[in-house]
Structure 1
Amino acid sequence: MANNIETCTVKEFRQTLLWPVQLITDASQGKIQRPWDILKNISDTPWREIEDDFSMAAQCLSELRYQEFVTFMPYAQRFLYGEGKHGKEAGGYGESPIHIFTRNDVTQVRITLTHDTAPILLKVAHIELYFFYDIDIAFLALEVTGKDIQLKHAMDTLYRLGRTYPNYWEESGDAGHCAKSIEWLDSNNQVLSSSDYQDKTRYLAFVKDNHVPCVSLHWEFLMRPLVQHYSSQVGEIRYREIEYQRMPLMGYFAFESITELTRGDLIRLGLVTQPWDSNSLPFTEDFLADFEKKYCYDRYWDNQKIDPWSTTRIMCTGQNFVVVGSQQHRVFTNNKTGIKNNYQNQYFLLFLIAHFQKAALLMLSDRMVQAISRLNLESEQSIKSFRQNIRNVMGVFLRFTHRYWFESISDQAVSKDLFNMMHKQLGTADLFEKTRRRIMDMAEYLEGEEIKRQADTVVRLTVVTIFGLIGTMTSGILGMNIFDFTQISTSSKLLYFMGIFIPVSALTFYTVIKSRRLSLFLDALSNENAGLKYKLSKLKKVWFGKVED
């Protein structure tokens, strides 16, 4: 059999990249950050906020947007689209917590995969930047499209395009797993920015100085005016990577005939591996024995491929979401109700929500690690900052749980099944439980510390009260007319008052200072089984010796 990847052509190719980054904010302030407001106020930026269909002045919603809307459950609808005017007026959910920006200066991408391949020109369908209310996470979304592309090149593009930095360098100097060159082009085919994967010195020096990976220049360009946190660039919105260097991706492959693809081709597409001989497998047969069961959603797939209706396979590994099918049947290519439309709308939102939830939980875990790392038990200010940071994280997690966390977002069969697959393969539910337990552990620790401080305060007040009782009784005796102070002058009365007030105050403050030691002495004094020697030793420690914990 001929090598299919050399002869097979992808009639329509789409790749959607989703890059989650953590926004760096001052968590100690406990305020909700609004990076979208900062971005809107920057004049020299290509980013412009998208006016949602729901807020536009048109009389009716578009039918495609309506189909997308009704896919989701009511709580997911409120998350994605907010509430209508009646809900806002009633003090309900209000606007959608998602703020989306887009740019139109980059219209094409020219990618040179390897030394021996000619550059491939792909159209940039859209570039978007997503912000979420109360969650310090942003997503860069990029979709590129092409037609009549050799399967080998489409597979290699899927594999190489979404790399933020190289894993290693070949002996030739080429960056491992990355494209030879990636260039963003404008509508006049002018290069706006290009990759610098071969600049090994830049990447090595950045990691040495900052202990974090360095983002390639062409991705830095797309994110501006957002700047990498540890870079020397000046910017009000700073970010750092929160996941692996290969971005989560979606792929759409429309073929003239799906029968040309072998099992090896399908597995390579589903797992997003490098192209190779179609008659081979990317890994061992034992490793791939449950590939179809674990990663394939075959509601529209028949292995016999007799009917064009049953030639659509959806493959989901959590990190990847790839759809392949035949353009001969409208169930796949129809722009209104087909898989293509769902891929661009419903499936994209499923993918976005699943990865948003994972990124948000990773961000919260990272903030807890930062709080603990900065804790200095010898510094009272550090301890106070630690308590405040942990309380802020607890507040964000509580709001995240009630606003953004749901394990099912649709009752439509396909959307429901696909979201469940994403959740399971990303391990989001387990991550949620682990994060919740860690935060609860922190809450218990803070509660225990608070109880301990309150107990210490009660002990001190009790000791002061006991020893103050002596002074109270003494003053009571003085008020029994044993001494007649009514006949003396006012100045003499004031002198007597100060003569009692000053030593009593000094004794009270001194008692507070020694309250912990005195409490131990009182415990010993009240112990009927303890001997006189033991009680005297505790009395001696009020002034001498080390205080006991």
Structure 2
Amino acid sequence: MATSTDVIVKHFRQILIWPLQLMPMPHKPGESSAMGQQWKIMQQEAAEGSPWQPRATEFDAAPENFEERHYREFVTFLPYVQRFLYGENASQSSNVAGYGLSPLHVFRRQDIRTVLMMFKDGTVHHFTVAHIDLYFFYDVDVVILAFEIAGENLPLKRVQDALFRFGRAFPAQWDEDKTAANCLRKVAWLDGVGDVISESDYEDRANYLSHLGRHRAPRMASHWEFLLNPLVLHHSAAKGNLRYRQIEYHRMPILAYLAVDDPFKLSDEDFYRLGMVTRPGNNDAAAYTQKTFEEFERQCCFDRFWVPERKHSSASTRMMCNGHAFVMVGMHSNQFYSDPYTGVLGQFRHQHFLMALIAHFHKAALLMFSDRLAVALSELNLQNVRSIRTFKREIRLLLEGFLRFNQRYWFREVSNQIVSDQLFQMMSRHLETNRLHSDVKESVQSMNQYLENEDLRRQADTVVRLTVVTVFGLLGTTITGFLGMNLFSLADESLSTKIWYFIAVSAPITWLIFYTVAKSKALAEFLDAMSDERVSLRRTLKTLANVWRKKKS
């Protein structure tokens, strides 16, 4: 079936969800840096005039201004998710404090009002910016950019192209005409009067290549780099305390909402390209087999409200999820689907967005823990005492952070409402967060077990050394105890003579004790051989001789 060419998207929404890993904050040598405290620096930057300002929530407004949309959003989630997203105030009638404020810290910038996109064919479209937010998470070194844009009356192919090309942090390759292969030809941020604030540099191939050669990491496109400031790329020469690094694929996860006049006109290929976020196809022939479509419908389509045989508005909504993207298509004339407050559009922008935010945060946080574990292990040098101490400190910090993550953020269910629950389970399944959680949990426990075993080994070595010193010290104690004080009569000697005797005896005994400790490992082997009846006297004496034999390294 050929791809539709005359379908117009009456209303279009695209939300980028871009998870980034935050680098540990600067700290004094020998100290551990607390995780998830970067939002405090953002607050300082906001006070100094940064475009990123703390975003007030609906709960900060007067209670009489609270709307039904906010209420419906709140009750969608289970209580523990509500506390994560919105916090909990202390009771007005009780001195008992509640859960506390939400661990989310959100910053918003409002200077960018329009996104200019120039496509490969030179066509330019302007999209309205709905909001640009940065989500910081208490106790977790992860930040998520949420960027929502909207458009009206766009050809379906243009929407497919925008979904495919817009959310790219940097180009993966260049075409023969030296333009970025899968990126837009140009992206620009415009202010309220239409002036360009920043624009992309996808075509600057030499700069991307030299940056990768110098830092062993790709650089971000200039417009994304500008947008995130004061956050700066860790693998760069830029200065700043808020540093981030890429944690996933360079294509940003997306949510998309499409309202069309007749969604039943869309072909299987249209839905596949939208759900899998591929580039628009040619009209000559279908690029995929029927088996591909069937597998896509089975794994990625949520068709609870999609019954094309009925041709009715109540059965005209299709949702698709593949982990990278969540896309929904419905009928524009269906008032419930197009209602931006309590309808499907409102649910998409709020409930569905928050579910996707949680799912992608789970994956980003788990990848962050995995990366930090790998870095800690790679920097471990068993020949360096300081390296071992740093490794232990980092692993215990990660263990504490992972335990807090489990208690505060890790949810297998977010809602008891059937649709919300099934959509979240679908997102989590495609992102494989449960498997990733099990892998990270096992790695953290293995690292912790290693540290515990290492502590037990050191304690056992200490006990062996003390035992050896005690055994050999017992010989001297027994001998001197038998002889008593009758060997030397010093009672009538002067104080200075007694002090000199004390020093003369203390020095060799102290040296002997330390020498015994130094040779305690070899002496322990001698004691083991002597206590074993199966070991011959000759071999026992040989073991004793090994105490003074220099071992080869």
Q: Sort the TM-score into its range (normalised by shorter chain).
A: over 0.9
Counterpart of 2:472?
A: 467
Say whether 1:25 aligns with 2:28: no
Say whether 1:156 aligns with 2:161: yes
Within 5 A, what are the aligned runs for 1:74-473? 74-86=79-91, 90-114=96-120, 116-277=121-282, 280-473=285-478
Counterpart of 2:519?
A: 514
Counterpart of 1:489?
A: 494
Where do 5+ consecutive residues of structure 1 fail to align?
none
Letter matched to residue 158 of structure 1? L
What's the offset of the Cα at 1:331? 2.5
Indicate conservation of the 8 Å contact 1:19/1:247, yes or no. yes
Indicate conservation of the 8 Å contact 1:541/1:547, yes or no. no
Distance 1:46 1:204 in 2: 31
Alpha-carbon deviations, 1:438-494, whole Å to 9, x = none? 111111111111111111110001111111112222332353546443333333333
Distance 1:296 1:209 in 2: 43
Change (3 A) 1:431 1:302: same
Indicate conservation of the 8 Å contact 1:24/1:239, yes or no. yes
What's the offset of the Cα at 1:62? 2.4
Distance 1:92 1:282 in 2: 56
Change (3 A) 1:528 1:398: same
Say whether 1:34 aligns with 2:37: yes
Distance 1:508 1:411 in 2: 69
Identity %: 43
Counterpart of 1:12?
A: 11
Indicate conservation of the 8 Å contact 1:127/1:140, yes or no. yes
Where do 5+ consecutive residues of structure 2 fail to align?
none
Distance 2:228 2:156 in 1: 30
Distance 1:90 1:475 in 2: 68
- Deviation larger for 476-485 or 395-404: 476-485
Change (3 A) 1:400 1:378: same
Indicate conservation of the 8 Å contact 1:264/1:280, yes or no. no
What's the offset of the Cα at 1:534? 0.7
Letter matched to residue 104 of structure 1? Q
Distance 2:95 2:145 in 1: 33
**Matched residue of 2:501: which SS?**
helix
Distance 1:477 1:498 in 2: 22
Change (3 A) 1:286 1:345: same
Alpha-carbon deviations, 1:338-395, whole Å to 9, x = none? 1101000000000000000000000000001111111122211111111111111111
How many pairs align?
546
Change (3 A) 1:203 1:522: same
Say whether 1:44 aligns with 2:49: yes
Say whether 1:476 aligns with 2:476: no
Change (3 A) 1:13 1:221: same
Distance 2:209 2:341 in 1: 48
Change (3 A) 1:278 1:434: farther
**Matched residue of 1:345: which SS?**
helix
What's the offset of the Cα at 1:90? 2.8
Distance 2:141 2:393 in 1: 17
User: Under a length normalisation based on structure 1, what TM-score does the superposition of the two structures give?
Assistant: 0.96
**Matched residue of 2:91: which SS?**
helix
Indicate conservation of the 8 Å contact 2:11/2:152, yes or no. yes
User: Under a length normalisation based on structure 2, what TM-score does the superposition of the two structures give?
Assistant: 0.95
What's the offset of the Cα at 1:215? 0.6
**Matched residue of 1:85: which SS?**
coil
What's the offset of the Cα at 1:535? 1.0
Indicate conservation of the 8 Å contact 2:35/2:401, yes or no. no
Distance 2:177 2:488 in 1: 104
Indicate conservation of the 8 Å contact 1:12/1:255, yes or no. yes
Change (3 A) 1:431 1:182: same
Letter matched to residue 45 of structure 1? S
Distance 2:258 2:95 in 1: 45
Aligned-residue CA RMSD (Å): 1.9
Indicate conservation of the 8 Å contact 2:3/2:266, yes or no. no
Indicate conservation of the 8 Å contact 1:268/1:282, yes or no. no
Distance 2:239 2:466 in 1: 53
Indicate conservation of the 8 Å contact 1:258/1:326, yes or no. yes
- Deviation larger for 137-146 or 527-536: 527-536
**Matched residue of 1:530: which SS?**
coil
